[in-house]
């Protein structure tokens, strides 16, 4: 297992190219299961989760090629309908093949994705919706089996705007004649990106980005040529690293329109943000920021995936502030690691109180999930002295070539074998 060694306390400067969005690419790659025609997806980030998807689609019988951020998928004969445990346990997003396979073959078997460090993450919303569309659900040996003599369009009201359930049901309904309506569905920008891809494949999808989406499907979907949107969580992570360390950092191939809740909070903390078409510039003194409370919410609220990096930034605030994590029940694992670097944080259930300290100090710390790892990078870049971040395979799941991008920004970072 690799570690990062970071010598913090230097300002950042220069330009960083933001990669394509992991959380937009994963459902769009799953959508290639909906068609027998060739698909070519560009701006796909080179990440562990994409490699896992490559493995999964090939296992299911597609023939995939991935290079220079372009992912190509060809059909072969005899697609499998089973996403096995050892692939699903590596990446929960593997279950996004459920909607496409159920629609195409009226049967799918996939391993119940176990929980992960940030929460139990059940899939009841997905299964309830599939049942309403006519699927029978059964369980065997840790797998879920969905079968349907025939699927029918339905009006589905989600009890919670689940991102994955919205994506799964959009894809399922796209290959089904008639109109399916999703109510109280997720509004994330990645949902809009998937909708644009499904429309290019021949479905009609209206309302993506709002809480009511109408999907009118067809019998056959076409192949796809598509370019994935920028990664707004990577963008936010670099914005926070620059805000915490100080300096001027220009982020390219991204879009300020994706960053509203984070930009609003950063400006309140005293960080200067300017933007032009396709780029965002952060200017920060690297001094102690003003304390700003945040609460994570479904989009368009503050994204839960930036809660941990935000907490790292607020660790040096000039005063106290609160972070409320409303989406996942166990997403404060990074707090204890930040405290090893001198942060003063009290966690009670889903609330963290951060009392800002003058200085963070480098220390050996451990990543527990993708975004907790990102938080440790933000803290280590701003901290005085040397930090060692362990279990960076978590970070590799969500950030493409992060050490190269940080080094280009002036950060002293190296990847070492543990
Ligand atoms: C997506 O996960 C993202 N992953 C997550 O990013 C992100 O944190 C999350 O959305 C919220 O924005 C991908 O897009 C691949 P949800 P997803 O279904 O779809 C509960 C990262 O770091 N829930 O919106 O799994 C669930 O337990 C990852 O890139 C149910 O109870 O998120 C959670 O508390 C982490 N039943 C909440 O809803 C269900 O059937 C949000 O889950 C489904 C979800």
Q: If you measure from the C-alpha of residue 323 to the centroid of ligand 1, how many angstroms do you get, rounded to a whole number?
A: 19
Beta bridge partners of 384: 361
pLDDT in the model for residue 1: 84
Among 32, 151, 178, CA closest to 100 = 32
- Dump pLDDT digits (tens) for 394-415: 999 999 999 999 999 999 999 9
Mean pLDDT of 118-143: 94
pLDDT in the model for residue 116: 77
Return the residue whose CA atom lies nearest to atom 38 of ligand 1: 162
Q: If you measure from the C-alpha of residue 248 to the centroid of ligand 1, how many angstroms do you get, rounded to a whole number?
A: 33
Residue 295 pLDDT exceeds 90: yes
To the query of whether residue 116 is one of the catalytic residues in this protein, the response is yes
Residue 364 pLDDT exceeds 90: yes
Residue 306 pLDDT exceeds 80: yes
State the residue for tokens 């997905």: 126
Residue 89 pLDDT exceeds 80: no
Choose one of 19, 88, 113, 121 to mutate for the ligand 1 pocket test, by most ligand atoms within 8 angstroms of C-beta. 121
Q: Which domains does the chain have, with CATH numbers?
A: 2-19+230-417 (3.65.10.10), 22-227 (3.65.10.10)
- Dump pLDDT digits (tens) for 310-324: 999 999 999 999 999
Question: Is any ligand 1 atom within 6 A of the Cβ of residue 91?
Answer: no
The model's pTM: 0.97
The SS3 of residue 342 is: coil
- Dump pLDDT digits (tens) for 2-60: 999 999 999 999 999 999 999 999 999 999 999 999 999 999 999 999 999 999 999 99
Is the N-terminal amide bond of 344 cis, ω within 30° of 0?
Answer: no
Question: Is any ligand 1 atom within 6 A of the Cβ of residue 163?
Answer: yes
The SS3 of residue 26 is: helix
Among 84, 82, 101, 213, CA closest to 151 = 101
Phi, psi of 335 (to 5 degrees): -60, -45
Q: If you measure from the C-alpha of residue 205 to the centroid of ligand 1, how many angstroms do you get, rounded to a whole number?
A: 22
Banded pLDDT at 88 (limits 50, 70, 90): confident
Question: Is any ligand 1 atom within 6 A of the Cβ of residue 249?
Answer: no
For residues 114 and 412, the model is more confident at: 412
- Dump pLDDT digits (tens) for 179-229: 999 999 999 999 999 999 999 999 999 999 999 999 999 999 999 999 999
Strands (E), 68-211: 70-74, 82-83, 107-111, 136-140, 143-147, 155-157, 178-183, 204-206
Q: If you measure from the C-alpha of residue 402 to the centroid of ligand 1, how many angstroms do you get, rounded to a whole number?
A: 23
- Counting residues of the chain whose pLDDT is more than 90, the rounded percentage is 91
| Cβ 321 vs Cβ 345: under 8 Å | no
């Amino acid at each position: 297992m690799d570690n990062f060694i970071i010598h913090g306390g230097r300002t950042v400067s220069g330009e960083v190219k933001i990669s394509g969005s992991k959380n937009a690419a994963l459902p769009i790659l799953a959508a290639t299961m909906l068609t027998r025609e060739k698909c070519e997806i560009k701006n796909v980030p080179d990440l562990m989760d994409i490699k896992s998807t490559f493995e999964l689609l090939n296992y299911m019988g597609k023939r995939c090629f991935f290079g220079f951020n372009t992912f190509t998928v060809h059909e072969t004969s005899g697609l499998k309908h089973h996403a096995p445990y050892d692939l699903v346990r590596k990446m929960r997003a593997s279950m996004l093949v459920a909607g496409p396979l159920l629609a195409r073959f009226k049967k799918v078997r996939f391993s119940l994705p176990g929980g992960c460090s940030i929460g139990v993450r059940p899939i009841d919303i997905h299964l309830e919706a599939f049942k309403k569309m006519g699927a029978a659900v059964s369980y065997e040996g840790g797998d879920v089996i969905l079968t349907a003599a025939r699927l029918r369009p339905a009006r589905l009201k989600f009890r919670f705007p689940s991102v994955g359930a919205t994506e799964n049901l959009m894809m399922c309904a796209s290959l089904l004649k008639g109109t399916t309506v999703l109510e109280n569905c997720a509004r994330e920008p990645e949902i809009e990106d998937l909708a644009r891809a499904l429309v290019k494949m021949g479905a009609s999808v209206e309302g993506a980005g709002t809480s009511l989406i109408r999907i009118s499907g067809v019998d056959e979907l076409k192949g796809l040529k598509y370019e994935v949107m920028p990664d707004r969580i990577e963008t936010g992570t670099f914005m926070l690293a620059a805000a915490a360390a100080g300096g001027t950092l220009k982020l390219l191939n991204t879009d300020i329109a994706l960053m509203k809740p984070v930009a609003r909070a950063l400006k309140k903390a005293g960080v200067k943000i300017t933007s032009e078409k396709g780029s965002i510039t952060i200017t920060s003194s690297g001094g102690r920021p003003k304390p700003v409370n945040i609460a994570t919410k479904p989009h368009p609220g503050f994204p839960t995936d930036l809660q941990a990096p935000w907490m790292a930034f607020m660790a040096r605030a000039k005063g106290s502030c609160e972070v409320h994590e409303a989406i996942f029940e166990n997403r404060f694992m990074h707090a204890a690691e930040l405290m090893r670097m001198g942060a003063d944080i009290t966690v009670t259930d889903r609330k963290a109180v951060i009392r800002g300290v003058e200085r963070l100090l480098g220390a050996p710390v451990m990543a527990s999930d993708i975004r907790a790892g990102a938080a440790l990078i933000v803290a280590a870049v701003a901290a005085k002295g040397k930090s060692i971040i362990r279990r960076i395979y978590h970070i590799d799941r969500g950030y493409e070539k992060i050490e190269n991008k940080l080094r280009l920004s002036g950060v002293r970072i190296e990847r070492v074998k543990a």
